[in-house]
A and B are shown apart, each in its own frame.
Chain A
């Protein structure tokens, strides 16, 4: 009887011991799992944050160190560029028709406008039927990061006009247009472009750096944005937007054949 009882007690003890060992192991295993999970989580988080910040920064700064592609001038002989305040007139002086183009170098729709209609406009400018008055505006000046690209580029384009290179400068900036919300081109890049399109006058760089025409541009923009005859309904009620084109004091609807209609 004594033996049986002892055996039973022993078995119970062993069971208890086994259970506590298993429990201890289970806890240790859980801890190990937790360490693994936390480590993985921290590594993933760190990779995400570092990778994300590097990617975003490099993407928004993609214009850094870039050389803006200079376009070869396509103006025919006799086409002249004349700056008057913040307006640049391009064309042959004898041209009968005139249009006004209001645009912003950062505005994507303005780039589309250039791609769609530059050929037709240029044709009529070169054959002496059309003069174009370009108004480059700082409408999206807050839309670059850092802000200011719209104004810097508009100012530089006026300085380029003084050297007779507005159109080449203008076309190059639209061709290589920076993305909204990202870094634009800085003044050094704008100056380099000026040199690449053939401006040798040292005054160009000085005007770009000092923002020589900024005040004139801002004043002109204020007047234009408040001018009821330039407003269109973009869905928010009447307002001013870019690109806007006028002919004979009327806003032109930018349909496929608008250039033809204006010159005929």
Chain B
């Protein structure tokens, strides 16, 4: 379960990061559409966002410093959820651009509840990994003790080493 959570969250970050970085113009428009950042910060955030997502995805995929990466993942998701919630509350008609795309759309095409629910789901995966960062096939496992987790109920005994 933990391994699935790790690889699942890794896939989420890698896919969304890759889609965003492949279309920088659209990502810029998407960030701008949230209408929270001053003009000067839109481009830096539009550049950094996909890179952060890709980095988180790679670290999760490798299973390196899983707990910290999970904490960052949950924090980033919290920021994204807050950004979506504020545009919902303000009545903006936008697509979150969470997986590429994004920008202004017709008001009957907004999907705020679904977008937030989806991000909450991803955040839950992150929380699981914060509580139980030890998983199969991870760099953490290779580094810490050679013992692989026995099962889902494995408790993080390598805690003291960190």
Contact = CB atoms under 8 A, between A and B. Distances in A.
Contacts of B46: 56, 181
Interface in B120-159: 139, 142-144
Interface in A129-171: 142-143, 145, 147
A52 interface: yes
Interface string A30-59: 100110010001001100110011011101
Interface of A: 30, 33-34, 37, 41, 44-45, 48-49, 52-53, 55-57, 59-60, 142-143, 145, 147, 179-182, 234-237
Contacts, number: 76
Contacts of A53: 47, 51
20 contacts: A33-B143, A37-B139, A37-B143, A41-B59, A48-B58, A52-B51, A52-B54, A53-B51, A55-B21, A56-B21, A56-B46, A59-B24, A59-B25, A60-B24, A181-B28, A181-B32, A181-B46, A182-B28, A235-B93, A237-B107
Nearest to B42: A145
Contacts of A181: 24-29, 32, 46
A180 B25 contact: yes
Contacts of B50: 52, 56
B72 interface: no
CB-CB nearest 10 A-B residue pairs: A235-B106, A181-B25, A181-B28, A179-B25, A52-B51, A182-B25, A181-B29, A56-B24, A236-B107, A59-B24
Contact of B106 (A60, A143, A179, A234): A234
A35 B24 CA distance: 35
Contacts of A52: 21, 47, 50-51, 54
Interface of B: 21, 24-29, 32, 39, 42-43, 46-47, 50-51, 54-55, 58-59, 62, 64-65, 93, 105-109, 139, 142-144
Given A41-B62, A180-B26, A181-B24, 19 more contacts: A34-B143, A37-B139, A37-B143, A41-B65, A48-B55, A48-B58, A52-B47, A52-B51, A60-B28, A60-B43, A179-B25, A180-B29, A181-B26, A181-B27, A181-B28, A181-B32, A235-B107, A235-B108, A235-B109
A243 B74 CA distance: 42
A52 B48 CA distance: 8
A232 B153 CA distance: 59
A48 B105 CA distance: 31
Contacts of A44: 58
Contacts of A45: 55
Contacts of A60: 24-25, 28, 43
A55 B100 CA distance: 16
A263 B106 CA distance: 32
Contacts of A30: 143-144
A28 to B, nearest CB: 13
A198 B117 CA distance: 57
A142 B21 contact: no
A98 to B, nearest CB: 31
A63 B106 CA distance: 30
Nearest to A178: B25
A43 to B, nearest CB: 12
Contacts of A237: 107
A184 to B, nearest CB: 11
Contacts of B43: 60, 145
